[in-house]
């Protein structure tokens, strides 16, 4: 079956989630006395044969609370390069065609007591069709209650759909967001899932509903954590800890992250792909 209508439905949802997240983040900036706002930059995907390959909108804000936050939505289509196609679910050298739509968010915070965060959800079609995504918390200075609140909200979202989801997807996040050469986790985890297959419309609706709930869980819990921590006093030593931790974050995203590789291999917008990189970082 073709998935044009379903891709459009997913795209519409991702764009609406983007709008609500950005509005909430701007509201937090107002509460801190800042007039920072998102700047939106549309981009088109170039293809080798000159055909329309879709594109997206990069949203970026630099404020008093959010030192750098990017919220990107894209919908792209085309053909994978032959070798890369072999690594993608449902694609092959003979069938390299794909469509992909999704939202991707990374926030790096000014106050080191406020955790950085990553969230993305997506719908892809090749010869198969599936949803993937997740969210994970990345505190330079961990607060156990923040970690528990974040995981509890994701656990609730998972449990509403399948009693096995949370433990499966938490472990997937723990395994995925790990830096082997440092032998450390990137953060305190969350959930990560991929290849939730849509064999038919019933499976699409089921997996789409779960993916929407992941987005709602993020929007419900992360702003509460930000508001609780953004006024915490911090020292130069705290800031140095944050910058060193950010170095680990950079290492993971440039060496191991599949989303970074996917964007680069499919001709995505470089600024949007690398928006996950923090504004200031150190290595010791």
The residues that are catalytic are: 118
> Which of 218, 276, 220 has the alpha carbon at shortest distance from 248?
276
| Tokens 């991707």 belong to residue | 104
Q: What is d(CA 158, CA 211) in angstroms, rounded to the nearest whole number? A: 10
Using an 8 Å Cβ cutoff, are 158 and 212 in contact? no
> Which of 107, 12, 93 has the alpha carbon at shortest distance from 59?
107
Cα–Cα distances (Å) from 170 to 21, 111, 137, 154, in that order, read 23, 27, 12, 9
As a whole number of angstroms, the longest Cα–Cα distance in the chain is 58
Q: 126 by DSSP, 3-state: which?
A: coil
Cα–Cα distances (Å) from 228 to 16, 113, 147, 223, in that order, read 26, 10, 13, 9
**Which residues contact residue 220 at a Cβ distance below 8 angstroms, ignoring those fewer than 6 apart?**
153
Q: What are phi and psi of 279, to 5 degrees?
A: -75, -35
Cα–Cα distances (Å) from 137 to 6, 23, 31, 166, in that order, read 30, 20, 23, 15
For residue 196, what are the β-bridge partners? 131
């Amino acid at each position: 079956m073709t998935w044009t209508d379903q891709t459009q439905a997913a795209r519409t949802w991702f764009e609406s989630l983007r709008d609500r997240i950005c509005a909430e983040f701007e509201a937090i900036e107002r509460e801190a006395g800042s007039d920072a706002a998102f700047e939106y930059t549309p981009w088109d995907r170039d293809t080798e044969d000159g055909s329309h390959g879709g594109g997206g909108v990069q949203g970026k804000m630099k404020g008093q609370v959010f030192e750098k936050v990017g919220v990107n939505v894209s919908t792209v289509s085309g053909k994978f390069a032959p070798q890369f196609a072999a690594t993608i679910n449902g694609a092959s050298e003979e069938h390299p065609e794909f469509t992909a739509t999704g939202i991707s968010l990374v926030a790096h915070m000014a106050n080191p007591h406020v955790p950085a965060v990553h969230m993305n959800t997506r719908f892809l079609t090749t010869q198969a069709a599936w949803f993937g995504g997740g969210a994970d918390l990345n505190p330079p200075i961990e607060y156990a209650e923040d970690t528990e609140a974040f995981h509890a909200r994701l656990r609730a979202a998972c449990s509403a759909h399948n009693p096995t989801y949370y433990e499966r997807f938490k472990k997937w996040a723990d395994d995925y967001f790990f830096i082997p050469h440092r032998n450390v986790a990137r953060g305190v985890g969350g959930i990560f899932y991929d290849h939730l297959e849509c064999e038919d419309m019933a499976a699409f609706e089921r997996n789409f509903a779960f993916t929407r709930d992941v987005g709602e869980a993020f929007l419900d819990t992360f702003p509460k954590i930000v508001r609780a921590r953004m006024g915490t006093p911090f020292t130069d030593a705290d800031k140095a800890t944050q910058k060193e931790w950010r170095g680990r974050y950079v290492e993971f995203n440039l060496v191991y992250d599949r989303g970074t590789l996917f964007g680069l291999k499919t001709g995505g917008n470089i600024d949007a792909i690398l928006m996950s990189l923090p504004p200031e970082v150190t290595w010791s």
